Amino acid sequence: MKIFGAGLAGLLAGCHFQQATIYEAQPFNKPHKAVLRFRSSAVGDAVGIEFRKVRVHKDVWPASTVNPKQANLYAQKVAGVLTNRSIWNLDAVDRYIAPEDFIEQLIERCSERIKWGCKIIGNDITRNSHRDEPIISTLPMSSLWQWFNSGAPNDLPACPVDFSFKKIFIRRFRVEGADVFQTIYFPEPDTNLYRVSITGDLLIAEYVNQIDEYVFYSAFGLRESDCQELDMGYKQYGKIKTINDEWRKEFIYDLTTRYNVFSLGRYATWRNILLDDVIKDIAVLKKMMKSSAYDRARINTK
């Protein structure tokens, strides 16, 4: 079996399919820098890594309550359209926190099977068939669609799909002596900053499109001198816009039935899911690989 992509979804799949070879275009690992909070312990349980259960408190800045204007401004900032986002719910919630070296632990478990610097092209998909081993693809659906839509022989479903997305830029800080779990949303349009979270003593500020100089420290009762900046980075496909669901499912199904390619993860299935959902989807993929074409069709339409 092959796994395309050594991001979080690919590494989780690699831990479950222990005979699979993982192909990654990057020449080396780029650690995930965003917040790793989970709604359950399922991800940690699945790979045997202990997560810490915490209580996360949330707020919105500058107000303490959310109104439709703030919710709409936040949605436009992160998604470009009016849609319900997590800002509406400011209740304290239980979450499970991965250790900071979570990605490194996953890479270590799969290290002998990861081939770094292997750029994947459309032919790696189209030359595969049910005569060959299955492929789990965590590559963005937009990339696969571009390959197929650029003249490669295929009869996959045609549709004028708009794979819109926004880059997310991340700054990380260490807050000495802190051990709190908090998130504050920033809906106002005068900054690209949309969310800041403190996880233990690690503060992570997230921006759409680019980092700006907005001063957010006072929202947490902190001073700039309290926060030691560690690094910054970005996620290419940070926030994705939803697409036609019927077309999306048909595209995924056709990849499976014609090329023995199984899509896994947020970007491969182009839907806003959590890593908790990826663990469930891995179980679904295992079932699909053992199923008939008819059963696969039923599973894909759910």
pTM, two decimals, is 0.87
Transcribe 210-274 into DSSP letters: S------GGGGT--GGGEEEEEEEEEEEEEE----HHHHHHHHHHHHHHH-EEE-SHHHHTS---
Structure tokens at 41: 């312990």
The 10s digit of each residue's pLDDT in 26-71 is 887 666 667 788 999 999 999 999 999 999 999 999 987 899 999 9
pLDDT > 70? residue 99: yes
Under a CB-based contact definition with an 8 Å cutoff, are residues 86 and 78 in contact?
Answer: no
In angstroms, the first-to-last Cα distance of the chain is 25
pLDDT > 90? residue 9: yes
3-state secondary structure at position 56? strand
Please choose, from the candidates 157, 149, 124, the residue with its C-alpha nearest in 3D space to the C-alpha of residue 5: 124
Please choose, from the candidates 71, 82, 62, 74, the residue with its C-alpha nearest in 3D space to the C-alpha of residue 189: 74
The 10s digit of each residue's pLDDT in 174-227 is 999 999 999 999 999 999 999 999 999 999 999 998 999 999 999 999 999 999
1-36+99-158+243-302: CATH architecture: 3-Layer(aba) Sandwich (3.40)
The letter for the amino acid at 10 is: G
Can you tell me the mean pLDDT for 260-273?
Answer: 94
**Cα(221)–Cα(246) distance, integer angstroms:** 47
Say what the pLDDT of residue 153 is: 47
Can you tell me the mean pLDDT for 82-109?
Answer: 91
